[in-house]
Structure 1
Amino acid sequence: MDRIAQLKQFLEASPNDSFLKHALALEHIKLGDDITARQLFEELLAYEPGYTGSYYHLGKLLERAGDKDAAVKTYETGMAIAKAANERHTYNELQSAYEDLLY
């Protein structure tokens, strides 16, 4: 069984498991399926906005799609949440991606 099938099977048992959704989205990115990955990241962040690692990957995905405004907003939202949660490493990664995009 491939990784995507395994992750989907695990998600059937735990449909709101953010780690599993994040992992599944990353697997879709590896396959070049950004549409499915975006959907998974957006579902995950709607359910658990504090899952800060997903903002970086969603922002990069939006950059690749040419949606700069959505990427900027994603990074800004992620930075605000990471700052509030005192997640310095995540905040710094998001800030770096944000600044790279704007400057």
Structure 2
Amino acid sequence: MDRIAQLKAFLESSPQDSFLKHALALEYIKIQEDGNARKVFEELLENEPTYVGSYYHLGKLLERTGETEAAIAVYEKGMYIAWEEKDMHAYNELQAAHEDLTD
């Protein structure tokens, strides 16, 4: 069974598990299924907006697909959430990615 199938099977028994959703989105990125990855990241962040690691990866995906303004918005929202959660590591990573696009 491939990793995507495994993760989907795990999600059947734990459909709200953000870690599994994040891992699934990353697997989709590995095989260049950006549309599926984006859908999973967006669903994850809609249901659990404090899962800050997904903002970075979604932003990078949007950058790669030429959606610069959307990537900037994702980084900004992620920075806000990371600041609120006092996750300075995530904040700094998001800020660096944001600055790369806006400077």
Give 2:88's aligned residue: 88
Query: Number of matched residues?
Result: 103
Alignment of 1:1-103 (within 5 A): 1-103=1-103
Q: Give the whole-Å Cα distance in 2 for the aligned partners of 1:26 and 1:66.
A: 19
Q: Secondary structure at the match of 1:51?
A: coil
Pairwise CA distance, 1:67: 0.7
Instruction: Report the TM-score when normalising by structure 1.
Output: 0.99
For residues 47-84 of structure 1, the C-alpha deviation after alignment (integer angstroms, 9 at most, x for no partner) is: 00000000000000000111111100000000000001
Unaligned runs of 5+ in 2: none
**Identity, % of aligned pairs?**
66
Instruction: Give the TM-score normalised by the residue count of structure 2.
Output: 0.99
Unaligned stretches of 5+ residues in structure 1: none
C-alpha distance in structure 2 between counterparts of 1:9 and 1:24, whole Å = 11
Give the Cα separation in 2 of the matches to 1:100 and 1:71: 11
Displacement, 1:102? 1.1
CA-based RMSD of the aligned residues comes to 0.4
Any idea what SS the aligned residue of 1:66 has?
A: coil
